[in-house]
Amino acid sequence: MLAPVAGRQDTTEIRVSPAEVTDVMRTLHDDGAFRFRVLADLCGVDTGEVMQVVYHLWSENSPDWLRVIVDGLPRDDPRVPSMTFMWKGAEWAERETYDMFGITFEGNRDLRRIYMPPDYTSFPLRKDFYLADDAARSPGEGFRHMEQVRPPAAADRPLLTRRSKVQ
Amino acid sequence: MAGQTRVRSLDDPTVFVETPATIYDAIPPYPPRTEREAEFYNLGDGEMLINLGPQHPSTHGVLRVVLKIDGERIVDLDPVLGYLHRGVEKICENGDWHHAISNCDPLEYVASMFSEAMPVLACEKLLDLEVPRRAEYIRVLAWELNRIASHALFMGWIALDLGGLTPILYGFIERDEIVEMLAALTGQRLLFNYLRIGGVNGDLNHEFMSRLGDWMGHAGKRIEDSQNLLNENEIFVRRTKGLGVIDRATALGLCMSGPPLRATGIPYDVRRAHPYSVYPELEFAIPVREEGDSYARYMLHLDEIRQSIHIIDQVLHQMPDGPCMAQIPRLIRPRPGRAFIAIESPRGQYATYAMSDGTDQPFRMRIHDPSYFNLQVMAEIMPGNLIADIMAVMSSLDPIMGGIDK
């Protein structure tokens, strides 16, 4: 656990590291006290500094949604274990997260792009992926190609992202 | 697969003949990238690949399914998505919270009252905003009407995919009345853009109420009519009963929701499992079937229409007076935080996970579409069935590609 259990409104939140997420999820799923059988959602988040993978679980024993955040994945090579051994339905969700964020799910046997074409090279939902309109407003002013993360002229400037105040 | 491949002869199925490999255009022109892809595109004797789609009437949108077949039997299948991908999540991050409503509208274009609720409910939760009770009741009314419109269309579609032309006309009559009613309320027939952060855009009006009154008078009778048309039709029953059977463990493991999950006997409905809006104050049942086949899914839709009519009846009796919009600033800046909300759409659990960083734009807007997860079951249940049955099963899952491809 990376942080104490937090709760707000109808959601309980726990943060774990990539190394312990398999055990945590297995306990939540199998333990008779928890029985979180429904994987309500699986998605990736790019906070601008680190990558996260966020799971939402539902159990008949709990009135709250349970949010499990796998925190602190490095931006250059984010890796987390796959949940397909427990929920086979996570397969496409993980493919989508891989497609959009470039997060590798170790153990997913079909981790290829799902929306973007197979020869596509960038990850659109990362915060350093600009829309064409956005590039004009950015501090790295002037034209930049949509898929080019940092133009050579701006190489000495810090990587521009909309940094999050939410951690 | 270079050069030639062996397939069954059309004249004598026991004989294998060589064919030019050019007909195997379904094989991607690059080496397999994953274990599963290598397994799928490695053809055994007598097996061949064909493309179902991208433009096939029964795929309800632009979906391509690569079928691996041996004669008429499906050996395996691989859905290829992305033909409708617009990047709605990214677009939402680049507009403000109000823009997100109309961007999310065309996701589930048959029931857009549900997909447009995503940014609205998420933002309200981030703002800790209390919505006027009248607005909540109007929302439930609009949701349930839209659910019936979607289900009515489903009943027409499933029959159309099985070759019956009549039920879709009845389905459209039913849907058209509701859509005209909602057009009187919202000004739009398809993409309503009616929900607002803090309430709804405009109170109930006279034309809507008079159309609703007319419709309520014969809604129950209409269901009986559709039921008489299909429920005991021999062709329909034989092509749906016992087909596409999903068991409980598979359904839960595949993260399914909505009618396909409830048709396996699991009573998971977000309106009861994790109540939102004013659903705790309303009385309704969660219809469940045990069989898990296409016929059970079809019957479940009928039951749900009845429950929705029951809900609308209660809503009209309990509708409170008051404003239909909360007092909120025009520029919305939720404080930094995270919110997860889920609602029950006609296809299952529609969920969103929104993050705010304190600006007027969503920082992250994840949209969870139930059809995306429900569609995954195809590769589990179809192997061993006939090609013709893929339509019967796929349309009973009722996927909407607008939401799947986002």
**Would residue A8 be called left, alpha or beta, if left means φ above 0 and alpha means ψ between -120 and 50 degrees?**
beta
Does B263 score more than 50 pLDDT? yes
Compare CB distances from A89 to B93, B340, B376 and report the shortest one's residue: B376
- How would residue B307 be classed by pLDDT, with cut points 50, 70 and 90? very high
- Between A167 and B16, where is the model more confident? B16
Cβ-Cβ contacts under 8 Å for B34 (sequence gap 6 or more): A109, A110, A111, A112
**Please, are residues B47 and B5 in contact by the beta-carbon 8 Å criterion?**
no
State the Cα–Cα distance between residues B67 and B209, nearest whole angstrom: 49
pTM here?
Answer: 0.84
Say if residues B35 and B12 touch (Cβ distance below 8 Å).
Answer: no
Say how far residue B164 (Cα) sits from the centre of its chain.
Answer: 22
Distant-in-sequence, close-in-space partners of A158: CB < 8 Å, separation ≥ 6: none
Long-range contacts of B304-310 (CB under 8 A, 24+ apart): B304/B147, B304/B151, B304/B259, B304/B346, B305/B147, B305/B148, B305/B151, B305/B152, B305/B223, B306/B220, B306/B223, B308/B144, B308/B145, B308/B147, B308/B148, B308/B151, B309/B148, B309/B216, B309/B219, B309/B220, B309/B223, B310/B283, B310/B284
The string of DSSP letters for B249-316 reads: HHHHHTT--SHHHHTTT----HHHHS--TTGGGS-------SS-SHHHHHHHHHHHHHHHHHHHHHHH
* Residue A155 confidence (pLDDT): 43
Chain B contact present for A35, CB below 8 A: no
Whether the predicted pLDDT of A157 surpasses 50:
no
Q: Do B368 and A40 touch (CB under 8 A)?
A: yes
pLDDT at B146 over 90: yes
Mean pLDDT of A63-90: 90
Each residue of B234-255: pLDDT tens digit? 888 888 888 889 999 999 999 8
The Cα of A40 is separated from the nearest Cα of chain B by a number of Å equal to: 7
Q: How many helices and strands, by DSSP H and E, does chain B display?
A: 17, 10
pLDDT at B25: 55
CA A165 to chain centre: 17
CB-defined contacts A:B, below 8 A: 124
pLDDT in tens, B106-120: 898 889 999 999 999
Q: Where do the H-state alpha helices sit in B162-277?
A: 166-186, 206-230, 234-240, 248-253, 259-262, 270-273
B13-45 pLDDT, tens digit each:
777 776 655 444 566 666 778 888 888 888 878
Residues of B with Cβ-Cβ distance to A110 under 8 angstroms: 34-37
Q: Chain B partners of A83 at a C-beta cutoff of 8 Å?
A: none
pLDDT, one tens digit per residue, over B53-110 is: 777 656 677 888 888 888 889 999 988 888 888 889 988 888 888 889 999 998 988 8
E strand or H helix at B200: strand B199-200
Interface touch B34/A43, C-beta < 8 Å:
no
Task: Name the strand (E) or helix (H) holding A78.
Answer: none
Between B231 and B21, the higher pLDDT residue: B231
Confidence of residue A63 (pLDDT cuts 50, 70, 90): confident
Handedness of CA B233, B381, B406, B338 (dihedral sign): positive
Residue of A nearest to B340 (CA): A11
The two beta strands, A104-106 and A79-81, are parallel
pLDDT at B148 over 60: yes
A contacts of B254 (beta carbons < 8 Å) = 87-89
- The answer to whether B89 contacts chain A (CB < 8 Å) is yes
- pLDDT tens for B315-333 read 999 999 989 888 888 888 8
Q: Which residues of B touch A13 (CB under 8 A)?
A: 338
Chain A, 116 to 155: residues with Cβ < 8 Å from chain B are 116-119, 124-125, 129, 131, 133-134
Q: Record the tokens describing residue B355, joined without a space.
A: 């993050």
Question: What is the dihedral sign for C-alpha B247, B249, B255, B258?
Answer: positive
Give the one of B36, B91, B254 whose C-beta lies nearest to A109's C-beta. Answer: B36
Phi, psi of B337 (to 5 degrees): 170, -175
Beta carbons within 8 Å of B360's beta carbon, 6+ residues apart: B96, B97, B331, B332, B333
Name residue, tokens 């800046």: B333
Place of tokens 């997100």: B100
Cis previous bond, B54, omega within 30: yes
Return the half-sphere exposure (C-beta side, CA atoms, 13 A cut-off) of residue B18. 5
Tell me the nearest-neighbour CA distance from A131 into chain B, angstroms: 8
Which pLDDT belongs to residue A64?
86
First to last CA, chain A: 15
Quick check: A53 pLDDT over 90? yes
Report residue B136's pLDDT band, with 50, 70 and 90 as the boundaries: very high
Per DSSP, the three-state class of A165 is: coil
Q: What is the pLDDT of residue A138?
A: 46
Tell me, what's the pLDDT at B27? Answer: 66
What mean pLDDT do residues B128-140 have? 91
At B328, phi and psi to the nearest 5?
-130, 155
Contacts of A56 in chain B (CB under 8 A): 340, 351, 353
**Cβ–Cβ below 8 Å for A89 and B87:** no
Minimum mean pLDDT range among A49-53, A81-85, A144-148, B171-175: A144-148
Distance of alpha carbon A50 from alpha carbon A2, whole angstroms = 14
Nearest CA in chain B to A137: B94
Cβ atoms of B192 and B186 closer than 8 Å: yes
A-contacting residues in B 20-39 (Cβ below 8 Å) = 28, 30, 33-37
Distance CA B402, CA B391 (A): 18
User: Is B373 in contact with A86 (Cβ distance < 8 A)?
Assistant: no
A67 and B340: CB-CB below 8 Å?
yes
pLDDT at position B6 is 66
Q: What chain B residue is nearest to A164 in terms of C-alpha separation?
A: B357
**Where does A12-158 have alpha helices with state H?**
21-30, 90-101, 132-137
Sign, Cα dihedral of B104, B105, B107, B113: positive
When mean pLDDT is compared across B74-78, B259-263, B388-392, the lowest value belongs to: B388-392
Query: Residue B235 has what pLDDT?
Result: 86
pLDDT score recorded for residue B391: 82
Q: Are A14 and A1 in contact (CB under 8 A)?
A: yes
Query: Distance between CA B197 and CA B153 in Å, rounded?
Result: 29
Q: How many other C-beta atoms can be found within 10 angstroms of the C-beta atom of residue B229?
A: 16
Lowest mean pLDDT among A147-151, B38-42, B359-363, B367-371: A147-151
Q: Which of B76, B340, B405 to mutate to test the interface with A (most CBs of A within 10 A)?
A: B340
Asked whether residue B351 carries a pLDDT value surpassing 90, the answer given is yes
Describe the crossing of helices B117-127 and B97-104 by its angle, rounded to 10 degrees. Answer: 150
Interface with A, mutate which of B130, B373, B401 (most A CBs under 10 A): B373
pLDDT band at A5; cut points 50, 70, 90: confident
pLDDT tens digits, residue range B374-385?
Answer: 999 998 898 888
Q: Where are the domains of chain B?
A: 4-80, 88-405
Q: Which helix (H) or strand (E) holds B340?
A: strand B337-345
pLDDT at B91: 86
Which one of B94, B363, B405 has the shortest CB-CB distance to A164? B363
Distance from CA of A111 to the nearest CA of B (A): 6
The dotted CATH code for B88-405 is 1.10.645.10
Q: Which residues of A touch B34 (CB under 8 A)?
A: 109-112
What does the pLDDT read at residue B117? 92
Ordered domains of chain A (ranges, CATH): 3-106 (3.30.460.80), 121-154 (no CATH)
Helices (H), A10-123: 21-30, 90-101
Cα distance between the two ends of chain B:
34
Predicted local distance difference test score (pLDDT) of residue A159: 47
The pLDDT value given to residue B179: 92
Under a CB-based contact definition with an 8 Å cutoff, are residues A116 and A66 in contact? no
What does the pLDDT read at residue B57?
59
Q: Cβ A58–B35 below 8 Å, yes or no?
A: no
Q: Which residues of A touch B338 (CB under 8 A)?
A: 11, 13, 67, 166
Ramachandran assignment for B149, one of left (phi > 0), alpha (psi -120 to 50 degrees), beta (any other)? alpha
Higher pLDDT: B28 or B148? It is B148
ipTM value: 0.84
Whether the predicted pLDDT of A137 surpasses 80: no
Distance of CA B57 to the CA centre of its chain: 16
Residue A20 has pLDDT above 60, yes or no: yes
Beta bridge partners of B262: none
Q: Which of B66, B83, B57, B74 is nearest to B28 (CA)?
A: B66
What is the Cα–Cα distance from B401 to B386, expressed in whole angstroms? 23
Cα radius of gyration (chain A): 18
